[in-house]
Amino acid sequence: MNIDRHKEKLKESLELIDESIQIGIEKRQRTIGFNTSIAAADMLEIYLHQKNLIDPGFVIKHEWFKSKNKLADKFPFDFEEKEQLFQCMQYIEQQRDSLCYGIPKHKEEIMKVLIKFNELKEIFKKAGVEYE
């Protein structure tokens, strides 16, 4: 997928996250779980494409962030803020399934995911990824 297509998808996810916050995060935990996960993958893919670190056909799958071994296999190369980015993305991915498929969570638990997602957005923004 090309960068412009990723940006379109990212914009959609960001809009859904914002709408979920306005409606009430406890009412939209599933939407937050799905969209923070996929938006994180889109931002990483945009970033790596911009840096010419991956081929145009390379697709990042959100589930890779459940396994450090998978990440080492798929991303053997270094790039700025790699560890910090991966830590944020791993946290989001670890919470994804319980938000999407689990019982309703307390507001504080959902907020932790949103805080980590905002931290991730800031890192990408400083790295030059346009997401708005």
Least Cα distance to 38 among 59, 65, 13, 20 occurs for 13
Spatial separation of the C-alpha atoms in residues 90 and 62, rounded to whole Å: 9
Integer CA distances (angstroms), 70 to 29, 74, 86, in order? 27, 6, 12
> How many residues are there in the chain?
132
Would you list the domain boundaries of the chain? 3-126
Least Cα distance to 81 among 35, 37, 36, 121 occurs for 121
pLDDT at 82 over 80: yes
pLDDT at 132 over 80: no
CB 13 within 8 A of CB 130: no
Structure confidence by residue, pLDDT tens digits, 33-53: 999 999 999 999 999 999 999
- What the block records as the tokens of 121 is 């957005």
Which one is predicted more confidently, 21 or 57?
21
**pLDDT band of 131, cuts 50, 70, 90:** low
